[in-house]
């Protein structure tokens, strides 16, 4: 279903409508272990989309065959790489992601995040994170030395958001070439580490002499980053993306609650997380307003569990059952069912190329 790199809805013949030539975009929020909720939502969408194919004896489609562009931040970026760059199925991704979270978070390294000299110590093993991601890549039959960027135009374009420490700015790492050129040429492993190395949880990641941490504060909800990337890729001189978009899906990791903390050493961390939560929701409101006509026309969708995940911390991998149950409850709500069906019908109309 992903649009052929050589084609463009603008250049297509009049017989080819937006429904079968428009671009399909996917934006994935950050959220640690709550990224499982993202995957459960995507599984529901993909299962519904693939049901007629399975009934007809056809092979199910994978996300990389559906979406023209996938962008993610933090663990959303990691999922974007797994689905789009490593071309994993949803089921394989859920299994790998669950095991990855367990391997990374089952052993806490430091009780206090404040070091003797007042610096911030990572709470978990950065080596465990590297080893866990390395296993996912190798299990897909891919070399750890393979570059994130694909020299030929990839069927599914993927980018991840990370934070360049020396400028404290959001930087995007791509699996595709961009007109302005790429300053960094990371491997798949380096890109995955750069987007998922949450400050205070893991050490920063070095790429070509520069240090990176995850881009959660500033782009935890990367919908506008996805829009900017798509505009740069496909809008040419017009800058008007909306007429070209067939389907734009944004998936969150669950609404967050507000915690009270007495430990002075944790207050800065909690304040940062609260800012991320507020920023994520503010971005969502701006996104839905900006794309209001697309929402009304059934082309733009936001899926995010609103109840049940408020108190699940980023590292609580043992809360998988709660994450699954809360997401299942959300997916069985009448309003959600209607929007998922509308989303699936939208995706199904687009012809495979």
Token representation of residue 67: 């979406």
**Catalytic annotation present for 210:** no
Query: What are the two backbone dihedrals, phi and then psi, of residue 64, each rounded to the nearest 5 degrees?
Result: -65, -20
Contacts of 169 (CB under 8 A, 6+ apart): 163, 218
Please spell the DSSP secondary structure of 282-297, one letter per residue.
Answer: HHHHHHHHHTHHHHHT
How long a stretch of residues is the chain?
353
Q: Where are the alpha helices (DSSP H) in 59-89?
A: 63-66, 75-80
Q: Which letter does DSSP use for residue 313 in this model? A: -
The secondary element (H helix, E strand) that includes residue 214 is strand 210-214
CB atoms under 10 Å from CB of 248, counted, come to: 27
**Contact of 76 with 187, CB cutoff 8 Å:** no
* Catalytic residue, candidates 74, 125, 196, 326: 74
**Contact of 1 with 65, CB cutoff 8 Å:** yes
CA distance 195 to 205: 9
CA distance 226 to 160: 10
**Catalytic annotation present for 250:** no
* Catalytic residue, candidates 29, 214, 250, 326: 214
Closest to 256 measured CA to CA, from 284, 226, 298: 284
**Contact of 145 with 187, CB cutoff 8 Å:** yes
**Contact of 176 with 153, CB cutoff 8 Å:** yes
- DSSP-based helix, strand, coil % in the chain, nearest 5: 45, 15, 40
CA distance 271 to 306: 21
Active site residues: 74, 214
């Amino acid at each position: 279903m992903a649009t052929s790199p050589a084609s463009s809805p603008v250049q297509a013949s009049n017989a080819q409508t937006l429904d079968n030539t428009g671009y399909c975009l996917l934006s994935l929020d950050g959220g640690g272990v709550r990224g499982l909720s993202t995957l459960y939502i995507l599984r529901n969408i993909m299962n519904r989309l693939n049901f007629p194919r399975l009934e007809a004896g056809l092979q199910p489609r994978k996300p990389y065959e559906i979406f023209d562009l996938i962008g993610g931040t933090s663990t959303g970026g990691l999922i974007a790489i797994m689905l789009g760059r490593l071309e994993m199925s949803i089921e394989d991704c859920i299994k790998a992601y669950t095991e990855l979270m367990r391997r990374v978070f089952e052993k806490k390294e430091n009780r206090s995040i404040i070091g003797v000299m007042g610096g911030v110590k990572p709470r978990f093993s950065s080596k465990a994170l590297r080893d866990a991601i390395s296993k996912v890549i190798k299990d897909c039959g891919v070399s750890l030395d393979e570059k994130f960027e694909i020299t030929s135009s990839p069927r599914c374009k993927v980018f991840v958001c990370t934070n360049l420490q020396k400028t404290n700015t959001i930087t995007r790492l791509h699996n595709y070439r961009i007109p302005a050129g790429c300053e960094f040429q990371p491997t798949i492993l380096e890109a995955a580490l750069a987007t998922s190395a949450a400050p205070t949880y893991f050490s920063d990641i070095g790429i070509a002499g520069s240090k990176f941490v995850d881009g959660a504060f500033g782009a935890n909800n990367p919908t506008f980053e996805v829009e900017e990337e798509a505009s740069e890729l496909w809008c040419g001189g017009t800058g008007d993306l909306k007429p070209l978009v067939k389907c734009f899906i944004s998936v969150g990791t669950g609404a967050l609650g507000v915690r009270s903390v007495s430990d002075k050493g944790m207050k800065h961390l909690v304040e940062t997380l609260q800012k991320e939560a507020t920023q994520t929701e503010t971005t969502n409101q701006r996104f839905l307003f900006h794309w209001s006509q697309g929402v009304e026309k059934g082309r733009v969708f936001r899926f995010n569990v609103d109840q049940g995940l408020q108190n699940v911390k980023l590292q609580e991998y043992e809360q998988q059952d709660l994450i699954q149950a809360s997401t299942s409850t959300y997916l069985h709500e009448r309003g959600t069912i209607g929007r998922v069906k509308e989303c699936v019908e939208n995706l199904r109309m687009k012809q495979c190329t």
